[in-house]
Chain A
Amino acid sequence: MKSRSSLQLTSGLLAAVLSLSATRAAEGYVPVKGLAPMPPEIAALPVEQAVLTPPPLVPPAITRRSPARVVVDLEVREVVGRIADGTQYTFWTYGGTVPGSFIRIREGDVVEFHLNNHPSSKLPHNIDLHAVTGPGGGAASSFTAPGHSSQFTFKALNPGLYVYHCATAPVPMHISNGMYGLILVEPAEGLPPVDKEFYVMQGDFYTVGAYGEGGLQTFDMAKSIDERPTYVLLNGAVGALVGDKALAAEAGQDVRIYFGVGGPNLMSSFHVIGEIFDRVYPEAGLKFVQEHVQTTLVPAGGATMVDFKVDVPGTYVLVDHSLSRAFNKGALGMLKVSGAEDRVVYSGKEVDSVYLGSQSAAGSLSSKREDELKKQIAAQIKANPTIAGLTKEMQMEKGKQVYMQNCFACHMPTGEGMAGVFPPLAKSDYLMADRERAIRIVLKGLNGKITVNGVDYNSAMPPQQDVLTEEQIADVLTYATNNWGNAADAYTVDEVRRVKSDTL
């Protein structure tokens, strides 16, 4: 009994002492300051709970004409979801979606922000709202361990549309796993009313498997660092805005798209095929509204608002006009406009007729004839001993240049090597016995004991396949096997290539 109680006493004391220092140090990092004192005029503001919406929905416009205290409850969840048909990915999300929930507040609002990190999360997360004025945009104040919740308050000083994102290191990974969204700070006087509002965000994703490769895909750090995305997506999945999930409007309606780029790396050349933006708020600022814009550039960690009237029914495709991303990486969505046709604004296809141009029958025949002649010339060269001899001679000259740059230091300019260390090439039984072996040694190098002209050698030759081209290897072998008393057929590039692919 004595032993047990003394053990407990010791550990209890130790824990008590350590608890003081540990708690102080841990809390020193992200100090919990307690609730900010609010002056009476702020404390008297009406309190309301923010309406959050998943993409592509946007919360209703704010109708009140005075500030409020707005409570935002945003939950961080790490979820496995579909990134493409048959392909899953672990998304880290704000509110369970990519992009995260849309937040809509008004200029002058005082926002009480709660970031709740779900207990099943593996990692701590936080939020940097570009709408926040203050160090880190709220990042340090919202840094939250799994299964915990953080609260901070900010005043929305500047109207506009802002990106929010996770700012926990490694930030590029948190963002490329989907941790971004938009917060709209409506100007005090409101935005011009429109008939439909949509929420679309672009992000780049990096998976180990190629585009479309099935199964649960893993984040690829190297591709991320090199900025070589596997997917570039609108709203977090291939086809998130396609088919029955396409955005929908009716002809004659005014449409607004709140468009943001989460990144982490790529900017977007945002374009709607077949539409012209009537109004663009460049970089989501409100002061200068640009009109009649075809494509608007949106930086990573930036946003824009575009307004346009849809006049003609049909399908309009939203793309990043860096088109490989749309064509090969998924950066594509659709807006389907229903309603009556207006064939004066757009007629549809009126005529289909034949046009031949340079692809006419005569042009095609001539090109075939040219190919045949080229083949005949190649065959003539091969069959003509004079030309073949000249070819070999030229190979030897080129091979000599390669030899004098890369080989002579060990094998000596005379091909005699160095006694007991580097084997000779001149009159070498080993070199001349096996063409394939000779090619392989130049390509891959050679280690260990060999016997050349009755003498043992035991050293190393470095591989040359990353140093010399296939043509240079054929040339240098032709040189070495037709010099210093050696004689052989010329080595061809085809031979080198065959050995190279055999031994890959």
Chain B
Amino acid sequence: MLTAVQFRRFTDNVSRTLRAAALAGVFFFPILAQAMSASAGQPPRDVAPVLIPAGVYRPLSRATTDPETVAVAAFRLDALPVTNAQFLAFVTTHPQWRRSRVSPLFADETYLRNWAGDLDPGPASPPDSPVVNVSWFAARAYARAAGLRLPTLAEWEVAAAAGYTTPIGRAEPDFVQDLLAWLARPVPAVLPSVATAKPNLHGACGLHGLVWEWVDDFNTAMVVGESRADAARDQNAFCGGAAAGVSDTSDYAAFMRQALRSSLKAKQGTTSLGFRCAEDLPSTDLPSP
């Protein structure tokens, strides 16, 4: 007997596979398509995604013209970040994303630097550890190839706001302590397996405590537009000035995520920056095959 949850995951998988097949312009019998997904260039997806219920994201800092909150619709998020093994499958079928061939427009010299070779993650990058040193472009290309996308900043923050047992992690002392402990540790030479990550209330593992993660719109972390108001805000981004116009100055972890995102360019990677994929909820009005 399938439980309701298992059934939902099964139907989601089927619909996702269908969509991937439709995207590829080819129509397969679903099971066959799933079996062939690796050879068709779709990276393996070993763990079912989890449902992140609709929520509200309150940006840490914003211009006075920005809304105070951002509504986030329910969506599906991979339970785990992408591993070296999964990324290896991707670069195997997408040679343009191999280290030696990637365009310098899309990845700088840090790209997959911890790998031993183009198709060899090597001892510093175990198969079940999260892939790091990937650019935003590469992360995005991977997601697209999987028929998925990167979560938006607001989606990621809503998913990661949950604690181990409650919807508000910031109010769980254990959760806060674990988070700050991770933030305060240097990056280990070899990252741990994704299996070590603790699930949060929604079942998403390692949103905190494993690696940083790219989000689709990372560069909106400190929006800089044309307006002089934004430019003035810019100068306040450091030192005590950073606290001006901030929704919760005691959320140090949020400051650190914002600082990291702001420091990045889309072609960069770091030794502790990975990603995971997301997708919209399957809607009932998808064109039927």
Measured CB to CB, the residues of A under 8 A from B are 2-4, 6-8, 10-12, 14-16, 18-19, 22-23, 25-30, 78-80, 90, 119-124, 126, 128, 135-136, 139-140, 143-148, 167-171, 173, 177, 208, 218-221, 225
Interface: B255 (CB within 8 A): yes
21 CB-based A-B contacts, threshold 8 Å: A3-B26, A4-B41, A7-B23, A7-B144, A10-B144, A18-B140, A23-B266, A28-B224, A78-B186, A78-B187, A80-B185, A119-B110, A122-B185, A123-B256, A136-B235, A145-B264, A145-B265, A147-B268, A147-B270, A167-B238, A225-B250
Please give, as numbers and ranges, the residues of chain B lying within 8 Å of A23 by CB-CB distance.
265-267
Residue of B nearest to A28 (CB): B224
CB-based contact A25/B224 at 8 Å: yes
CB-based contact A126/B224 at 8 Å: no
Residue of B nearest to A12 (CB): B96
Q: Considering the chains assembled together, what is the distance between the CA atoms of A3 and B266 in angstroms?
A: 27
Which one of B183, B219, B271 contacts A119 once the chains associate, using CB atoms below 8 Å?
B271
Q: Considering the chains assembled together, what is the distance between the CA atoms of A18 and B144 in angstroms?
A: 14
Interface: B131 (CB within 8 A): no
Known: A23-B266, A29-B222, A124-B263. A173 touches B252 (CB 8 A): yes
Q: Considering the chains assembled together, what is the distance between the CA atoms of A18 and B150 in angstroms?
A: 14
Please give, as numbers and ranges, the residues of chain B lying within 8 Å of A26 by CB-CB distance.
219, 264-266
Contact count A vs B, C-beta below 8 Å: 169
CB-based contact A79/B235 at 8 Å: no
CB-based contact A128/B238 at 8 Å: yes
Which one of A6, A19, A139, A146 contacts B238 once the chains associate, using CB atoms below 8 Å?
A139
Task: Tell me how many residues of B have a C-beta within 8 Å of chain A.
Answer: 60
Please give, as numbers and ranges, the residues of chain A lying within 8 Å of B140 by CB-CB distance.
11, 14-15, 18
Known: A7-B24, A169-B242, A221-B250. A123 touches B181 (CB 8 A): no
CB-based contact B250/A22 at 8 Å: no
CB-based contact A6/B24 at 8 Å: yes
Known: A119-B110, A124-B263. A171 touches B187 (CB 8 A): no
Interface: B220 (CB within 8 A): yes
Q: Considering the chains assembled together, what is the distance between the CA atoms of A110 and B61 in angstroms?
A: 35
Q: Considering the chains assembled together, what is the distance between the CA atoms of A128 and B235 in angstroms?
A: 13
Q: Considering the chains assembled together, what is the distance between the CA atoms of A135 and B267 in angstroms?
A: 28
Q: How close is B110's CB to chain A, nearest CB, in angstroms?
A: 5
Q: Considering the chains assembled together, what is the distance between the CA atoms of A171 and B140 in angstroms?
A: 32
CB-based contact A218/B177 at 8 Å: yes
Q: How close is A213's CB to chain B, nearest CB, in angstroms?
A: 14
Q: How close is A206's CB to chain B, nearest CB, in angstroms?
A: 10
Please give, as numbers and ranges, the residues of chain B lying within 8 Å of A18 by CB-CB distance.
137, 140, 266
